[in-house]
Amino acid sequence: MDSALEDGESFKRRRDWSLPGDAAWWMFLTAEFLTLFAFFVVYAFMRRANLEEFQAAQALLDPRFALVNSLVLITSGYCVARGVRALRCGGSERSRSWVLAAAALGVVFIAIKGAEYAEKFGLGLTLSSGTFWFFYYFLTGFHFLHVLLGIGFLVWVGLSAPKKSNALAFHVQAESCAAFWHMLDLVWILLFPLLYLL
């Protein structure tokens, strides 16, 4: 037990100066974010060239869906941060509760987004309904699939925390999963005004 605590203290000291998680994860996250950012830029140019079409399509969106989902994701990001902090401090059960709460909020996000998709499909709005709808479904769908992946990561971290809380490698993996989830928060915060408000 003492050696496990020493490993934890060593972990805290060693990682204080660096980014949380694994460097390879940060390379992956950077590539993902830059890919989406490139689509944001293309979207901005297309919107400028087809402003009336885009505004007419955006008028069919209900920003309340996106606002609620923004609050859900921000709250889940807070839960993940608390979970990682609890893990660092040796509270594996508290970590588990926080991280699984974040995963549950991710499921809420999926349910709300799924309801919004169902409403749009019910109106006959699909990828082929116009330039705006192509970008809407592509960008939010890309994010949607990543949220599903992130939920899987969080469930794995939450369920593994009580068994692996003293393992240095698990701490790094948990921080990597948390960084992935925070990236999803950031992407949605950019998508919300881009698609629903501007």
Q: Where are the domains of the chain?
A: 2-197
Tell me which architecture the domain covering 2-197 has in CATH.
Answer: Up-down Bundle (1.20)
Query: For residue 165, what pLDDT is reported?
Result: 61
Query: For residue 166, what pLDDT is reported?
Result: 66
Cα–Cα distance between 107 and 183 in angstroms, integer? 17
Q: Which residues lie below 8 Å from residue 118, measured CB to CB, with a gap of 6+?
A: none
Length of the chain equals 198
Query: For residue 118, what pLDDT is reported?
Result: 95
How much of the chain, in percent, has pLDDT values that exceed 90? 53
Query: For residue 1, what pLDDT is reported?
Result: 42
- Per the CB < 8 A criterion, the answer to whether 173 and 22 are in contact is yes
Query: For residue 19, what pLDDT is reported?
Result: 60
The segments of the chain whose pLDDT lies below 50 read: 1-8, 10-11, 13, 15, 17
Helices 92-122/63-88 angle, 10° precision: 160
Query: For residue 6, what pLDDT is reported?
Result: 45
End-to-end CA distance of the chain: 55
